[in-house]
């Protein structure tokens, strides 16, 4: 009779654990935790090891869902003690294996939140291996998703994409549209950060169709955010704002799901601020960033490295924006926040140093700019985000060019050469309209130190025209200032080369512009022209507007590329003919009677007056001769 009663009690425990699992699926976490606590506190029934383990894992899942991480860590230790007591037969039980898979997955989640990303990947892989033996495809999907996003956070985008594509294959295999949409969003996101806007557009569009069909508002908020970023990357800021505001609308009008879209909401606020920054509406940009910080602190998780990363970026941007209007209070507040994060997460010291470098580089005195250069040198090899990596390298290159101008030391040239190689590589992965403008500006500076003032001026004009057409008012302002400084810089380089003609010869030999030219060509080869995301139009065939200046073209003021039908006004077509004589879309010659002129060789064709070099009795340098 006693054995029968004991058996019935054990059977009841099995039913209660099963009930808890059902409650967890229904997101009734508090109720599930209450029941499982009663099971574990019951002293009269002797549970077997499998039941003890099942109860512990159920409690662990509930604690994680309720974000009680300290208690969850204790539960992990207790669960592992039970596993160590089991024999091999128990460990091979399918329910136990499933529990061990969950245990590894939860350990990975906690480590990821604490910034221990490599350890997290190891545990997610252990979980993945177990679920593969059980053929639990949805569980496999979630482990792939977790690993992929960690790889993305590490800046390993190609590796992230491999995991995201595996997710997509699995989702298509189980015919679940929600999973397919989730995988496509992840692929779109990674491709955006790689700079492959075409791939990002294609995957995001397919993802959007699925989420609209499913009426999945959380998914829609996420995909609207990525569309906003795609348009931002293309320089279509009005369209970008339209999508970001759709995210804000979902957040404000769907109170029941706000918690699920808080990250997309904060991300949209941040990027709206970023757009206003480029439009030189700095105070407005700061308002949006402050709102993003406020919303993130009140709505998102704390003590989580993934979410803290967003706050770190927000404060870094606030520092950058505040510098433009000398808002010293905001700079001080944001840097104080970055200091706190650097104490909390060792990896966050990178962002603190970057903030310091940005502040120092914008000071007038040379000693501060030199300090900024030292910091940039220190952090240039750390990888978090291609956009930040690109900005660090361009700023460091600027600093080195400035140092070269005053010191004339040849070893600086080798540092610049290495940096330009990196810039070319990163720009190819991070294609955006702002990247293109920055590259033209940098190429202009390199043309100047090679003595080709006319090419330098033309490249700056090209950058300025793109910036003005795209509404990049802050960049336009800075490019205009650069144009105004051109003559003074020319005189400074002339004085240096009078003192050190050997340095001039070395610069010519290295042909530094070729690195940036390669990056520009990479951008242009990707048909970096305005296009609507939904229709994926790559050239202006229906709208009769010039591809370069975006002005309307009329009947007698039009040039149409015979190869790809791209449209130019006569003025821009004529300008391009004198520059590279190549269509921006297909590279076909604009004037078929003339050869295509690679931009890096254009200085050889220039007939304008360039820098004069002190006469060398052995040879006459073409680059600095008067024509």
Cβ atoms within 10 Å of 79's Cβ, excluding its own: 24
Tokens 């329910």 belong to residue: 95
Q: What is the mean pLDDT of residues 459-463?
A: 85
Give the global pTM: 0.70
Greatest mean pLDDT among 56-65, 299-308, 396-405, 518-527 lies in 56-65
Considering only residues 273 and 520, tell me which one the structure prediction assigns the higher pLDDT: 273
Least confident span in 38-52, 465-479, 612-626: 612-626
pLDDT for position 512: 67
What Rg do the C-alpha atoms of the chain give, in angstroms? 30
pLDDT for position 574: 76
Mean pLDDT of the chain: 81
Cβ atoms within 10 Å of 288's Cβ, excluding its own: 23
pLDDT for position 7: 65
| DSSP SS3 for 589 | strand
pLDDT tens digit sequence for 206-225: 999 999 999 999 999 999 99
Note whether 55 and 17 are within 8 A (CB). yes
Note whether 539 and 547 are within 8 A (CB). yes
Three-state SS annotation for 179-241: HHHHHHHHHHHHHHHHCCHHHHHHHHHHHHHHHHHHCCHHHHHHHHHHHHHHHHHHCCHHHHH
d(CA 540, CA 304): 46
> Taking 70 as the threshold, does the pLDDT of residue 429 lie above it?
no
Cβ atoms within 10 Å of 238's Cβ, excluding its own: 9
Q: Could you give phi then psi for residue 552, rounded to 5 degrees?
A: -70, 145
Q: What is the mean pLDDT of residues 237-256?
A: 90
Helices 386-407 and 433-449 cross at an angle (nearest 10°) of: 10
pLDDT tens digit sequence for 348-381: 899 999 999 999 988 888 889 889 999 998 988 8
pLDDT for position 428: 64
pLDDT tens digit sequence for 278-300: 889 999 999 999 999 999 888 87
Q: What is the mean pLDDT of residues 245-263?
A: 84
As given in the structure block, the two tokens for residue 533 are 């995301």
d(CA 592, CA 561): 11
pLDDT for position 385: 66
How many CA within 13 A on the CB side of residue 17?
22
């Amino acid at each position: 009779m006693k054995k029968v009663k004991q058996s019935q009690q054990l059977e009841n425990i099995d039913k209660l654990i099963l009930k808890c699992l059902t409650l967890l699926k229904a997101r009734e976490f508090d109720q599930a935790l209450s029941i499982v606590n009663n099971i574990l506190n019951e002293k009269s029934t002797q549970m077997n090891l499998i039941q003890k383990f099942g109860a512990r894992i159920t409690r662990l899942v509930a604690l994680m869902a309720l974000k009680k991480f300290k208690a969850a860590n204790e539960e992990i230790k207790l669960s592992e003690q039970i596993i160590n007591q089991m024999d091999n037969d128990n460990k091979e039980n399918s329910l136990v294996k499933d529990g061990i898979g969950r245990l590894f997955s939860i350990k990975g989640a906690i480590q990821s939140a604490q910034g221990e990303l490599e350890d997290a990947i190891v545990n997610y892989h252990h979980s993945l291996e177990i679920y593969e033996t059980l053929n639990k495809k949805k569980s496999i999907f979630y482990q792939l998703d977790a690993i992929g996003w960690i790889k993305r956070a590490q800046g390993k985008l190609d590796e992230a994409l491999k995991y995201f594509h595996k997710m997509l294959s699995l989702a298509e295999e189980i015919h679940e549209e929600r999973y397919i949409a989730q995988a496509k969003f992840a692929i779109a996101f990674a491709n955006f950060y790689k700079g492959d806007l075409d791939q990002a557009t294609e995957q995001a569009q397919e993802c959007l169709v699925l989420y609209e069909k499913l009426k999945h508002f959380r998914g829609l908020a996420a995909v609207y955010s990525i569309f906003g970023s795609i348009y931002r990357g293309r320089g279509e800021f009005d369209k970008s704002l339209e999508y970001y505001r759709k995210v804000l609308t979902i957040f404000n009008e769907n109170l029941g799901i706000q918690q699920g879209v808080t990250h997309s909401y904060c991300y949209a606020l941040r990027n709206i601020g970023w757009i206003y920054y480029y439009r030189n509406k700095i105070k407005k940009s700061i308002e949006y960033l402050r709102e993003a910080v406020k919303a993130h602190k009140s709505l998102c998780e704390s003590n989580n490295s993934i979410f803290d990363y967003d706050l770190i970026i927000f404060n870094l941007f606030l520092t950058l924006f505040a510098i433009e209007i000398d808002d010293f209070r905001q700079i001080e507040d944001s840097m104080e926040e970055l200091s706190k994060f650097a104490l909390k997460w060792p990896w966050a010291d990178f962002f603190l140093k970057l903030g310091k470098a940005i502040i120092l580089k914008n000071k007038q005195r040379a000693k501060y700019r030199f300090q900024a250069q030292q910091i940039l040198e220190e952090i240039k090899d750390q990888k978090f985000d291609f956009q930040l990596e690109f900005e660090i390298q361009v700023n460091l290159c600027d600093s080195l060019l400035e140092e070269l101008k005053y010191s004339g030391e040849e070893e600086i040239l080798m540092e610049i050469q290495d940096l330009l190689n990196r810039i070319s590589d990163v720009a190819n992965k991070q294609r955006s309209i702002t990247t293109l403008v920055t590259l033209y500006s940098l190429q202009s500076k390199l043309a100047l130190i090679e003595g080709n003032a006319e090419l330098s001026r033309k490249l700056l004009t090209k950058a300025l025209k793109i910036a003005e057409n795209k509404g990049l008012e802050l960049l336009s302002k800075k490019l205009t200032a650069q144009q105004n400084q051109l003559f003074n810089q020319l005189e400074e380089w002339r004085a240096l080369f009078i003192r050190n003609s050997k340095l001039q010869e070395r610069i010519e030999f290295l042909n530094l512009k070729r690195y940036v030219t390669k990056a520009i060509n990479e951008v242009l080869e990707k048909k970096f022209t305005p296009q609507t995301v939904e229709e994926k139009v790559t050239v202006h065939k229906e709208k009769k507007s010039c591809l370069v200046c975006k002005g309307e073209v009329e009947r007698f003021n039009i040039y149409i590329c015979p190869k790809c039908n791209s449209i130019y006004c006569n003025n821009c077509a004529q300008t391009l003919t004198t520059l590279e004589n190549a269509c921006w879309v297909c590279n076909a010659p604009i004037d078929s009677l003339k050869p295509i002129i690679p931009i890096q060789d254009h200085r050889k064709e220039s007939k304008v007056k360039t820098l004069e070099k002190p006469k060398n009795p052995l040879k006459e340098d073409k680059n600095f001769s008067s024509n």
